[in-house]
Structure 1
């Protein structure tokens, strides 16, 4: 993985905002307020390790924008976590939520550890202590700040967080809404696990559906037979690859931190994921070619490259060697600003992270709403809808004299489940947002979808501040 200690994701994000502002008429004071982080909390706490020794752990929570509350953003466990990274990721969350019209401000959190080096018991201690530090400073709560999973964390950690929060707030009726990405058994939502990956698939699907744009890239419309390289086979990378493959694309390369796999005949995503889980990597996989230095896979020819790992993966050093025609940023900030200029000059399409990985926060929003209402989606109306459709079919049968088959009845007489409604809401969000984004790009006559996304986001954030009467 590329990791430049001099690189600042936050400064990169601010420069993207400045680029977008050139196409707008924003009050200078408003622009400066939008760019800055409202609150930065950096703290240290000790943990006792299994061998009896002690370690001091560094944690962060950054609330970038309070133009809407609560603020929203994941918590990552990584040895690369630092203040500038968390600030940059928090800022991206602000613009991401605004771009896809989700009513949250942006935030992000992180703990500077390598989770692979700790036992489950140690990780639980770290997570619960991190949560208690947030509670002490009121940096968590369903109306204040709602974390979620990110790199190095998942549903298990979110369950520990909500349990800790409830222990500190036993009378808070909406306590379950203090965090999203929880297990379904702990009032999570059906469909959240694969939400970000499904959002990536839906975003790429919409991008390749526009004939005019694909003609400029020398591609046909649709995903069928498109050659795809994925970087990172964690949750986001796996589901992105799985849904793209199911839609007809061919996954020819997968890059991971400890080696990659290359197979122009196509890779079975579910099979290689099982192998990776058992063997902790791709080495020894009987199909395809193992690539020791996996970063090289990003430079191989393909139609679509999907970086789904960490930020700062495509830089000015390797941008000239990238051969993909479309780059779908499933990770946060995988393409630096300098690299983006090079890629756009090469006539590549970059589908920006602030749009493409918004599936996670979209479904997190649905989970938060579910927690506040304390009722599952579809529970009230499912049986009513089934009865209504049944009566409709019976009316058609009576009018025509024909009978529907049992298979047809089962297909039509079906009330929407929670997963059905979640997927429907996610698809509506991703489809609407992409075409708004692309229309803004063409309206402003600019190459960059990212700049168009920031323009859309800034428009919406500016309206919030203006309506509050803070800026003219």
Structure 2
């Protein structure tokens, strides 16, 4: 997405809604209500630095849609945080949640700072003060507004947030549900770390299983043998690449900000990640070819391109050179609007970010449910299931006269862990959402999966307003 001075992310998102609305028969007043932000909170607060000086920081929390409560969305720490960006990101959260049928409205928050310029003590002060400001105005709570990590924040900041919220609300039994993305020690959920990357894999896997779609792209169905290029080997890129590789596809290139690796024979993602962590980059990696200008790798020939780094990576300048048949938007906004039009004309499939990277919010929903129920998934039934399977195997052995090996027995009677159940729920969510989105695309006879995604999301939001009797 472009970063020109007059560029507005919020207006961009509203443009997507308007494009989708052309294919729908909805009250214009309802479309206008769906587009607008319900609540915008901008505030300033002081930070006392270690040397005794003060600075004034600006924070934001935007609740885009109250059609469902609580609202949900991350908190980012970045120098680029401003009201328009937060409004745009909050709006995208609304449509993302509706698309994957997660019962939240959309929200987003942020503080305008460069987190790298502050020490841990300062970041804790900022986070706790930001939280207390949200508490004052009731912009946080398990039934109201549930933040999560985003750019520049992590599980550490979420732990500070929940601790601050609990200090202000000692009588609230569900207080842990005021924020997701927490460390496991603070009632986080197992499987959250890899959730977004795992969701990216599930989404791409579903796309390549649709026979008529693959036939129109000149591809066979299934992941096996597909050539893949991944941009970005951070959390999302690494897990996306890992699961794609395990499914039988061949990762032929990985691009990072400080150089990339190309190897037509295939890249071992675990080995490359280990080298990157040790050497802060790919330069000197013993296999493949080092490519200094890694953005060039986006135009190399492959079946699937997965941009999992930053926005604005595929623009009108390089879109005509893209040779991939499928682009899976693992990052937020890696393909600009102008670029997408070019790609559509060239018959390239773009799997939109609002669907493909929804794994994070899906598993956040599971964490919120866990916090409300105050029990880990699988804890009640795991041992019961193991005993039931053990008896069943015994019955099979008695009937057949053959015994299972210890390894087979352990694999068959193992009860589902929290992580197993979380990833199973994530898979079901991503599978259902993809086929609903693709079905809408075909029924409306449109090329763009993104437009189809917005149509489906808007339909679901509209039903909420209609059922409330606000609109006929």
Aligned residues: 472
8 Å Cα contact 1:89/1:332 also seen in 2: no
Output aligned runs, 1:72-471, within 5 Å: 72-471=72-471
8 Å Cα contact 1:255/1:295 also seen in 2: yes
Greater mean deviation of Cα atoms: 130-139 or 394-403: 394-403
2:9 alignment counterpart: 9
| Cα distance between partner residues in 2 of 1:220 and 1:153 | 40
| Cα distance between partner residues in 2 of 1:138 and 1:110 | 16
Give the alignment's TM-score, normalised by structure 2.
0.95
| Cα distance between partner residues in 2 of 1:165 and 1:72 | 16
Deviation at 1:317, TM superposition (A): 3.2
| Cα distance between partner residues in 1 of 2:378 and 2:299 | 45
Do the aligned partners of residues 402 and 376 (structure 1) sit closer, same or farther apart at CA in structure 2, a change above 3 Å counting? same
Structure 1: stretches of 5+ with no match in the other structure: none
| Cα distance between partner residues in 2 of 1:314 and 1:370 | 39
| Cα distance between partner residues in 1 of 2:214 and 2:179 | 39
SS in 1 for 2:140: coil
Deviation at 1:363, TM superposition (A): 0.7
Structure 2: stretches of 5+ with no match in the other structure: none
| Cα distance between partner residues in 2 of 1:270 and 1:57 | 40
Greater mean deviation of Cα atoms: 404-413 or 279-288: 279-288
| Cα distance between partner residues in 1 of 2:413 and 2:241 | 32
8 Å Cα contact 2:2/2:336 also seen in 1: no
The two structures, once aligned, show a CA RMSD in angstroms of 1.9
Give the alignment's TM-score, normalised by structure 1.
0.95
SS in 2 for 1:331: coil
SS in 2 for 1:56: strand
Deviation at 1:403, TM superposition (A): 2.6
SS in 1 for 2:222: coil
8 Å Cα contact 2:13/2:92 also seen in 1: yes
Deviations 1:59-96 (CA, angstroms, capped at 9, x unpaired):
22111100000001111222332222221111111111
8 Å Cα contact 1:2/1:313 also seen in 2: no
Do the aligned partners of residues 184 and 3 (structure 1) sit closer, same or farther apart at CA in structure 2, a change above 3 Å counting? same
Deviation at 1:427, TM superposition (A): 0.7
Deviations 1:92-139 (CA, angstroms, capped at 9, x unpaired):
111111111110001111222232333222222222222222222211
| Cα distance between partner residues in 2 of 1:271 and 1:156 | 28
Deviations 1:212-238 (CA, angstroms, capped at 9, x unpaired):
111111122222232222222221111
